[in-house]
Copies of this chain bind each other. A is one copy, B any other.
Amino acid sequence: MVASDIDKNKEKEFVQEITAQEDDFSRWYRETIQKAELMDYSPVRGCIVFRPDGYEIWERIQAGLDRRFKETGHRNAYFPLFIPESFLEKEKEHVEGFNPELPWVTEAGGEKLEERLAIRPTSETIIGYMYSQWIKSYRDLPVLINQWANVVRWEKRTLPFLRTSEFLWQEGHTVHATEEEAREETMKMLEVYREFVENELAIPVIKGRKTPSERFAGAVDTYSIEAMMKNGWALQSGTSHYLGQNFSRAFDIKFLDKDNVLKYAYTTSWGVSTRLIGAVIMVHGDDRGLVLPPAIAPLQVIFIPVGPAKRRGEVLARLESLLSGLKEKGLRVRADDREEYSPGWKFNEYELRGVPLRLEIGPRDIENRQVTAVRRDTGEKLVIGEDRLPGEVERLLKEIQADMFRRAKEFAAAHSHRAQDLEEAAAILEGPGGFILAGWCGAEGCEQAVKERTKATARNIPFSPPEEMPHCLVCGSRAAHTVWFARAY
């Protein structure tokens, strides 16, 4: 194969259609993320490679959250990857919840280990132990620490970004003198997640409390933000746990209080992971590929020269001067002036990659002292006067961000339904799909019945339900809660 053939093949490969979302959403997702070079499969079962464009989305998520964590008084630290088996066993529910998913190191440095070491699935246990060493007095509280780390849960069925054996995340672990303060922290961080996910990822979410069966293993209460993907499925996008004294009793985190009494502390933990990358793709993507919110897009603007070869020099000169004006504004912008690819190929390519705004400039644009802009989210074409370019591009990016959030919100509203009974719920889920708001008596049996009949699970008990549902959708008795049900990743 000669080089020019490779180019042709490459061109062919890129313009070839991806599966339509409507035909097979899951296939659309897998094809899009691999073709857009966000990720690739690795030779290790269930582990993916985060390629530069995928990883940069994560870097921007990290930067946005890290700033918010620090503004709310948290600091970062780093704890060991390995957790001795005996540590995991100290909290009964915790070990039962995570044991089936653990990989074990049994040999190291040429010797069999006396005690097996788990690769951390989460770090409550080892961090709890360290906290018990550090905390002596009420003066040492609160402890507000976060960790950015890789964690491993050996998953049977994996889906890139959403569920992989190794993934990247942050886990906040805090310790407080009182239940009230710990509960306040739990809610505060849930709100940090909501604000970030809605404002930067343009994804509307529902805040609420998990039902007991969906709680984090070892928590007293788990709260979540839930987002609706374009196929109507739910994605749990962040969780915040009030752990009560469960871990402080298991790990002996005690402090001498102001009243000279030795007390067990109250702890919380909260986390989001690289599954947020998957959420961005599944909420905003379309049949042409990714659609990235400007706030976290690695590249916000792609600038492409068009027109006949003989006027190329002139076009490139003008493009360069306009480009530097955009860069001065701090915009993430790049030109693609490669001659071996056609403008049409490039249009497809950057649409696939989800770049929010495309600028085109050709001989006619130069004559009219203008630039043609095309929005990725709507396909809308606009003509912008050269002299207004940097300001107008900034304005457009803000508008795209706001419009993407608004559309996602409208989509979620249009796919949210109320159901009075199980049959109605099943009919909705078999038909249009989406989220279902229903009453629930609080019995685990009724929750289980919903799952068996509809494959939907209780996502959360929303803080502000749009409507109170008076009867349990399964048994018809008085509802204790109003719950969002959905099929979920």
Contact = CB atoms under 8 A, between A and B. Distances in A.
B1 A82 contact: no
B103 A108 contact: yes
A156 to B, nearest CB: 7
A196 interface: no
Interface string A147-174: 0011010111000000000101000000
Interface stretch (A45-53, A237-245, A402-410, A431-439): A45-53
Contacts of A83: 44
Interface in A61-94: 75-84, 87
Given A3-B256, A6-B256, A49 B109 contact: no
A110 interface: yes
Interface string A103-116: 11111111000000
A126 to B, nearest CB: 7
Interface string A230-265: 000000000000000000000000001010100000
A107 B101 CA distance: 10
- Most chain-B Cβ atoms within 10 A of its Cβ — which of A105, A136, A137, A168? A105
Given A7-B137, A103-B108, 5 more contacts: A3-B138, A3-B260, A48-B80, A49-B78, A109-B154
Interface string A1-28: 1110011000000000000000000000
Given A47-B80, A152-B81, A108 B104 contact: yes
Nearest to A134: B40
B59 A76 contact: yes
A43 B103 contact: no
A458 interface: no
A42 B79 contact: yes
B77 A44 contact: no
Contacts of A81: 47, 119, 150, 152, 166
A420 to B, nearest CB: 41
Of A103, A130, A156, the most chain B CB neighbours within 10 A belong to A103
Contacts of A79: 42, 49-50
Nearest to A145: B52
Interface string A381-397: 00000000000000000
A365 to B, nearest CB: 28
Contacts of A166: 80-82
Given A59-B76, A154-B109, A43 B126 contact: yes
A346 to B, nearest CB: 15
Given A3-B138, A6-B137, A44-B80, A104 B106 contact: yes
Given A42-B126, A50-B78, A100 B104 contact: no
Nearest to A298: B75
A295 interface: no
A56 interface: yes
A429 to B, nearest CB: 30
B104 A40 contact: no
Those 5 A-B pairs whose CB atoms lie nearest each other, nearest first: A109-B154, A103-B108, A52-B75, A47-B80, A50-B78
